[in-house]
Chain A
Amino acid sequence: MDLFNNIIFLLDSMVRLTVPLLLAALAGLYSERSGVFDIGLEGKMLAGAFGAAVVAYLTGNMWLGMFAGIIIGIAMALIHAIASITFRGNQIIAGVAINFLAAGLTVFLGQSWFKQGGRTPALPDGARFLSIDLPFAEQLKDVPFIGGIYSELISGHNIIVYIAFLLVPFTYWLLYKTRFGLRLRATGENPKAVDTAGVNVIWIRYKAVLICGMLTGLSGAYLSIALSAGFGNNMTAGMGFIALAALIFAKWRPFYVLYATLLFGFLNALQIRLQGVELPVIGEVPVQAIQALPYILTVVLLAGFIGKAVGPKAGGIPYVKER
C-alpha cells in the first residue's frame, strides 16, 4: 500500500509538471504545422507568466490574470508573425529575439513596478488557481485502488490542468477532422498548392501563430498563478526548449506530444521524488546522478528509439506568392 501511494504521488507530481510542457508543445505544434518554426516558445511563456502574475496581483482575480497572460502571449506571437510572415524574416532569428525581449522586459518592468528584483509580490488566495476537487473525490477516498487513483491523481488539480489535457483531443480533432486543420497542415507542407486552391496562406499562418501565442500565454499563466504564487526571474527555466524537444520527439503529432511531454514530466517528477530515497538493491543514489537522469534518458531516447523525425516540409521558409 505504501508503494502504491508513493507511485500515486509520483504520478500526481508528474501531472503538475507536465502541463506547462504540454501547453507549450501544443502551441508549437500549431505554429510549426503551418510552416512557421517557433524557437520563441520560451519567451512567450515567460512574458505570459509575467503578464498573468501582474494582472492577478493588481486585480486579485485569477481569471483576469489568466486572460492577461493569454493576451500577452498573443501580442508576442503577433510580433513573431509580423516579422516572419509579413516581412518574411528568418523565423529562427525572430524567435530568438522574442526570447531575449521577454527575458529582459519582464525583469525590467517587474523591477520598476514592484521593486522586488523583477519578482512580483506573492499572490493572495483569490488571485491563484487552487486545486479543485472533482465530485465524489472525498467519498471515494478510502476505496482501495480506485480511491487512490481518482481522489489523488485525477481529482485535486487546478482547472488549467484539465484544460490542458482536454486540448490534446481537441487539437487532434481540429487538425485532422476539420477544413481549417487540413488547410493548416497543407500550408506547412506545400503552401503553393494551398494558394493555388484559393486559400490565403498568409492568413492561415497568422491564425496558427496566434493560436500558438494563446497557448504559450496560458502555459505561462499556469506557471505563475497556478503552480506557484507569483512571477520569478526567468521562471520558465528552459521549459520552452524542452517543449520544443518534446514536439520534435513527438514528430509533430498531437497525441505523441502528450506522451512525450508526459515522459519528460515523469522524469522530472522522478528526479524530485528519488532524492534521498533508499532504493532496493542500489541503496541511496547520489543527488547529482538523479538530476542528470532526465537529460541522459532524453539523449538516449532521441538518439536511439524514435527514428527519423521529419518536420513539415515548408517549415522555416517564408511564403512568397510570386517569384
Chain B
Amino acid sequence: MKSIKKRAIKMATLISSVAVGALFAAGAALAEPAIIYDLGGKFDKSFNESAYNGAVGWSKKTGKSFREIELANDAQREQVLRKFASSGANPVVMAGFSWAAALSKVAPEFPDTNFALIDMVVDEPNVRSVVFNEHEGSYLVGALAAMKSKTGKIGFVGGMDIPLIHKFYCGYAQGAVAINPDIELFENYTGTTPAAWNDPVTAGELAKAAINRGADVIYAAAGGSGLGVLQAAADAGVYSIGVDSNQNYLQPGSVLTSMLKRVDVAVEKAFEDGTSGNWSSGINVMGLANDGVGWALDEYNKDLITDEMKAKADELAAKIISGEIVVHDYTTDSTCPVG
C-alpha cells in the first residue's frame, strides 16, 4: 500500500517536472507576435476591435497563435511593453498614439525586437510607425453628411480632445464645406483624459445637445464612447457616422456610413512581415490611395446612400488620390482652414 503511494508521488513529480521543462522550452522557442490594445478596450467595436480583427485574421491565415493584452491603466504601459519584449514576442504591435512615450524609451533597450506603432511616429531603427490619413476618409464622410443633411447642420463628437481627433474633425469639416459652403458644424469632445474613450453617457448627451440645435447627421470619432452617439442618433431618428471599424450594423437605418480606418490591415501586415522576415521599419502611411482609409457601404446602409451621393463621393475620392484635392491635415500646423 505504502509503496504504491510512494510510486504515485514519484510519478507525479516526474510528470510535473517534465511538464515544467516543456513549458520552459516552449517559452524560449516561441517568437509569437504580440498585440497590445489601448484603454478603450479590446471590444470597443471601433479602433481596438479593428486591431484585434487584424490579429485574428493573421492567426486564421497562418494557423499560428499570437499574444495579446488589454491595458488597465496608463501606468502599465512601459511594464507591459518590457514584459512582452523580454519574453521573446516579436513583433510587438501597439494600437494607439498613447504608446509613443513608452515605446521611445523601451525600443532602444530591445534592439532585436521589432515594434509597430499605430497612429503615431517613433523614430527608432526597430520601429515601424503606421499613420493613417484619417483626414482623407473623414473628408469623404463629411461630404456624405452634407449631402444627407436636410437642416444644413451637422455635428461631430470626438473622444479625447487631442490633435489626432481634431484631424478627423478638420477633414470632416472640409468635406462638408466642399458640398455646402453654408453648412453649420457643431464640434464636441467627450473629455480630456483617456477615460473619454469609454464614456458613452457623456458622448450621448453631447450628441443630444447637437441634435437639439438642429444637427441631423453626427460623426462619432470617439472609440467606445461613440456607441452612445450612435444610440442617441437612432433614438432621435437622425443619422450618425461610425468610425474605425464598420459600425453600420450597430444601428441599421440610422448609421449613414462608417469612416473606415484599416487598422486591421496594418496589424495583419505587421504580423506577417515580422514573422516571415520581411520586416521594414520607418513610417508607413496608409491613405485613400492604398485602401488604408475609406467609407463603408454594405447591406445596412445601402438604402441611405443614393447613387448620386455614391457617385459624388467616388469622384471626390478619385480627386484626392490624383492630388487634385488636397485635404488639409490638422496635425501639421494645428489649424483648420474651415469650421
- Chain A residues near B (Cβ < 8 Å): 5-6, 9, 12-13, 16-17, 115-119, 122, 130, 223, 227-230, 232-235, 237, 269, 272-273, 275-276, 287-288, 291
Contact = CB atoms under 8 A, between A and B. Distances in A.
Given A9-B209, A122-B250, A272-B202, A228 B231 contact: yes
B168 interface: no
Contacts of A115: 43
Q: Among the interface residues B192, B199, B200, which one has the most CB atoms of the partner chain A within 10 A? A: B200
B74 to A, nearest CB: 15
B201 A235 contact: yes
A17 B44 CA distance: 24
B189 to A, nearest CB: 6
B45 to A, nearest CB: 8
A287 B188 CA distance: 9
Looking at chain B, what size class is its interface with the partner chain? 20 to 34
A287 B206 CA distance: 13
Nearest to B206: A272
Contacts of A118: 41
Nearest to B41: A117
Interface string B208-239: 11001100000000001001100100010000
B159 interface: no
Contacts of A228: 200-201, 204, 228, 231
A291 B161 CA distance: 11
Given A228-B228, A237-B195, A275 B206 contact: yes
Nearest to A116: B43
B187 interface: yes
A275 B189 contact: yes
B288 to A, nearest CB: 28
Given A275-B189, A288-B161, A223 B201 contact: yes
A17 B202 CA distance: 9
B191 interface: yes
A186 B191 CA distance: 44
Given A122-B250, A229-B231, A233-B198, A17 B41 contact: no
A116 B48 CA distance: 12
Contacts of B195: 237
Instruction: Kindly list the 3 A-B residue pairs having the minimum CB-CB distance in the complex, ordered from nearest.
Output: A117-B43, A117-B41, A116-B43
A233 B235 CA distance: 22
B47 interface: no
Contacts of B228: 228
A200 B224 CA distance: 49
Contacts of B191: 291
